[in-house]
C-alpha cells in the first residue's frame, strides 16, 4: 500500500502572536484539494488549523456570522451557531451549512454580498464561464447582471477569464480579467500582458498591460490588486491608471484581504507542465532570486511593503484561491458536509421566539 497523502501547515515565528494581538482568525479556500481551512489559536495557545471538505471551493465572503462560499456546482451559506459569549467544543464560532443554490458548473471565482442598483443586499459573483457578473436565481442557474464592453454575447466559453470583483460603498465597482478576448478561451493567448481592470458603472477599461490580475480590493481609498503573472502585490495609481507594484511575493498570487494596516495575500505554486502558467515573468523572477514558489499566506505591512508574517503549507496542497479575515474570532470551527454525525446531532433553535 502507498503512503497516505499528507500536508503540513506552519507559521513564521511571530504569526501566532500577531493573531493574538489583532484578535482575529483567517479562513481560506483551496480548490485544488477541495478544502475550506480555518486558522486560529487553540485554548493552549498553539496554532489551530481546521479543514473541511467541499467540492472545489473558490470564492469566499465573510460577514459577522455568515460565510458565503462558491463551490463546483453550488453556492453555500454557512451560519455561525455559537451564541455570543459562549463556546461549542472550545470553539467561539462554529459555521454550519444552512442554505445552498444549485448553479451548475459556472466556474464561479470571487463572490460577495452587495447591492445592485436600488435592490437590497444580495449574493453577487463572478461567473467566469459566461464572462459576466451574476446573482442567484431560484429558477435558473444564474441571473446575469453585467458583462464587459468587449464581450458581444453571454456564452459558456470563458472568453476573457473574468475573475475578480471589488466593492466600493457596498456596490460592485471594479473587476479584473486576464484578457480582452471575445472568442472562446482567447484569454490564454493574452495571459502575459493582456490583463485589465474595468470600472463596472462606466464599463471603462481603466488599466491594461497586466499579467493575469486577480483579487481587486478597494481599501484605504486605493484599488489594490494582485498582478499574479509577475508575483506582484500593488495598487492602481488613480491619476495615471498604471499599476504600482509594492511587494514581490514568491508565488502565484490569488486571494487578498485587509486588516488595519496589513494586507493578507494567498500564494500558490504554478502548475507544472501546464501551458497556462508557462512563459510568465513570475518564473523568471523566481529563478533570478533563487527561490521556489511558496504556497500559503503572507502578511504585508502597507507602510513598508515588508512581508512581516507568513503561513506556509507543504505537501499535497499547492494552490489557494481566496482568503478572509474573521475579526474577534479566536478558535473558529466548521461542520462540513462529510461530517454527517455532527450535522445529525447539532440542532439549534431561535431563542428569541416563544411558542
Tens of pLDDT, residues 119-129:
889 999 999 99
Question: Chain-wide mean pLDDT for the chain?
Answer: 93
Average pLDDT, integer, range 63-69: 96
The answer to whether 118 and 127 are in contact (CB under 8 A) is: no
| Alpha-carbon gap, residue 83 to 49, rounded angstroms | 22
CA distances from 211 to 27, 41, 71, 208 (A): 26, 36, 25, 9
Per-residue pLDDT at 345 exceeds 70 = no
pLDDT at res. 348: 64
pLDDT at res. 349: 60
Per-residue pLDDT at 274 exceeds 70 = no
Which of 195, 200, 159 minimizes the C-alpha distance to 179? 195
Per-residue pLDDT at 69 exceeds 80 = yes
| Alpha-carbon gap, residue 213 to 255, rounded angstroms | 11
Per-residue pLDDT at 6 exceeds 90 = no
With pLDDT > 90 as the criterion, what percentage of the chain qualifies? Answer: 86
| Alpha-carbon gap, residue 307 to 263, rounded angstroms | 9
Q: Lowest mean pLDDT: which of 42-56, 279-293, 336-350?
A: 336-350
Instruction: Confirm whether pTM is higher than 0.85.
Output: yes
Per-residue pLDDT at 2 exceeds 60 = no
The contacts of residue 310 (CB under 8 Å, 6+ apart) are 11, 12, 15, 294, 296, 297, 298, 299
Amino acid at each position: 500500500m502507498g503512503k497516505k497523502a499528507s500536508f503540513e501547515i506552519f507559521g513564521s515565528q511571530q504569526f501566532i502572536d500577531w493573531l493574538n494581538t489583532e484578535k482575529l482568525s483567517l479562513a481560506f479556500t483551496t480548490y485544488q484539494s477541495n478544502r475550506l481551512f480555518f486558522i486560529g489559536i487553540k485554548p493552549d495557545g498553539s496554532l489551530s488549523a481546521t479543514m473541511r471538505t467541499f467540492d472545489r471551493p473558490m470564492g469566499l465572503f465573510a460577514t459577522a456570522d455568515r460565510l458565503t462560499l462558491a463551490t463546483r456546482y453550488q453556492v453555500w451559506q454557512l451560519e455561525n451557531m455559537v451564541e455570543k459569549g459562549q463556546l461549542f467544543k472550545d470553539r467561539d464560532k462554529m459555521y454550519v451549512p444552512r442554505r445552498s443554490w444549485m448553479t451548475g458548473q459556472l466556474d464561479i471565482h470571487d463572490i460577495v454580498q452587495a447591492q445592485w442598483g436600488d435592490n437590497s443586499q444580495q449574493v453577487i459573483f463572478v461567473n467566469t464561464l459566461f464572462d459576466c457578473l451574476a446573482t442567484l436565481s431560484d429558477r435558473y442557474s444564474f441571473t446575469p447582471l453585467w458583462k464587459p464592453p468587449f464581450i458581444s454575447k453571454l456564452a459558456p466559453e470563458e472568453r476573457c477569464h473574468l475573475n475578480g470583483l471589488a466593492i466600493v460603498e457596498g456596490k460592485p465597482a471594479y473587476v479584473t480579467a486576464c484578457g480582452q478576448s471575445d472568442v472562446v478561451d482567447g484569454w490564454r493567448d493574452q495571459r502575459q500582458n493582456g490583463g485589465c481592470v474595468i470600472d463596472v458603472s462606466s464599463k471603462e477599461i481603466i488599466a491594461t498591460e497586466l499579467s493575469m490580475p486577480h483579487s481587486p480590493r478597494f481599501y484605504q481609498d486605493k484599488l489594490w490588486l494582485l498582478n499574479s503573472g509577475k508575483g506582484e502585490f500593488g495598487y492602481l495609481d488613480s491619476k495615471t491608471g498604471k499599476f504600482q507594484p509594492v511587494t514581490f511575493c514568491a508565488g502565484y498570487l490569488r486571494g487578498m484581504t485587509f486588516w488595519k494596516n496589513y494586507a493578507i495575500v494567498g500564494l500558490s505554486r504554478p502548475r507544472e507542465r501546464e501551458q497556462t502558467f508557462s512563459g510568465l515573468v513570475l518564473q523568471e523572477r523566481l529563478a533570478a532570486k533563487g527561490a521556489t514558489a511558496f504556497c500559503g499566506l503572507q502578511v504585508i505591512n502597507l507602510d513598508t511593503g515588508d512581508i512581516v508574517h507568513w503561513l506556509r503549507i507543504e505537501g499535497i496542497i499547492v494552490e489557494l484561491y481566496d482568503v478572509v479575515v474573521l475579526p474577534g474570532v479566536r478558535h473558529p470551527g466548521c461542520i462540513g458536509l462529510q461530517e454527517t454525525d455532527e450535522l445529525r446531532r447539532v440542532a439549534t433553535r431561535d431563542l428569541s421566539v416563544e411558542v
